[in-house]
Amino acid sequence: MARHLDPIGINYAFTGGAVVNLLLDDPELGPARPTDDVDVIVEVVSGRDYAAVEESLRNAGFKNATDGPLCRWRLGKLVVDVMPTSGERYGLNTKWFAEALQTAETVRYAHTTLRIVSPIGFLATKYLTFTERGKGDFLGSHDLEDFIAVIDGRSRIVEEIQASRRDFQNYLVDGVRSLLAEPDFREALPGFLLSDSASQSRLPLLRKKLEGISLIEIREIRR
């Protein structure tokens, strides 16, 4: 995928369920849930910008998908959602997309250099998506599943959130506090881990991480 996007010369970063495994730093964890699509955030300020991106994508071999949202493309059999940082016209809430793209990181994977959203940017975009389409179904939401997987799979995620830019930090702290205030979420928490005893043994640490995030002080953002 990256070899098709890099020559286009657009500012982009991979996100979504496809990058979860790249965001985990705990060697004890197995692969995250499989996903059959790839999400890409691209820098777009205006409709004219996105028209130029679309033309570049077509020249690189991408084709508009006939099903799904307006931002959906296909590259061979691969489904690709190309989500602009300013995507209101496409029915997308892109509140954290620009910030996630701005803080994206470069990683090496399978002899390829990939630009992916940071763990903090990933968490912010995933929690926002859960609040919009999760409908309070904690165990049925892939977005919340990915959100919890990254918290579970990063050894210093509490410290990382505490050290992150204040807008990200405040949003995530408030989000985790809201989750912990829901008895159904607390009851569902074991379901985010595999059922084997080794996986379930991580539950106390996962709870401790969530509690640690909730205790971070929310601070005023000065404009």
Over residues 131-156, the pLDDT tens digits come to 999 889 999 999 999 999 999 999 99
Task: Name the CATH architecture for the domain at 2-214.
Answer: 2-Layer Sandwich (3.30)
**What is the C-alpha separation between 143 and 131, in angstroms, rounded?**
9
The two structure tokens encoding residue 122? 């990933």
Return d(Cα 114, Cα 107) in angstroms, integer: 5
Q: What is the mean pLDDT of residues 211-223?
A: 88
Q: What is the mean pLDDT of residues 115-131?
A: 97
Q: What number is the average pLDDT over the span 98-104?
A: 96
| C-alpha closest to that of 115 among 25, 6, 4, 35 | 6
Six token digits for residue 68: 């799904």
Helical (H) or strand (E) element with 56:
helix 47-59
Q: Report pLDDT for 28.
A: 67
Q: Are strands 37-42 and 12-15 parallel, antiparallel or unpaired?
A: antiparallel
Q: At what angle do helices 142-153 and 119-133 cross, to 10 degrees?
A: 150
Which residues lie below 8 Å from residue 36, measured CB to CB, with a gap of 6+?
A: 79
> What is the domain partition of the chain in residue ranges?
2-214
Residues 6+ apart with CB under 8 A from 16: 35, 37, 38, 39, 81, 146
Q: Which residues pair with 109 in a beta bridge?
A: 112
For the chain, the average pLDDT equals 92
pLDDT of residue 47: 74
pLDDT of amino acid 49: 85
Q: Round to whole Å and give the CA distance between 143 and 139.
A: 10
Alpha-carbon distance of 179 to 118, in angstroms, equals 22
The pLDDT of residue 126 is above 90 = yes
* 193 has pLDDT over 70: yes
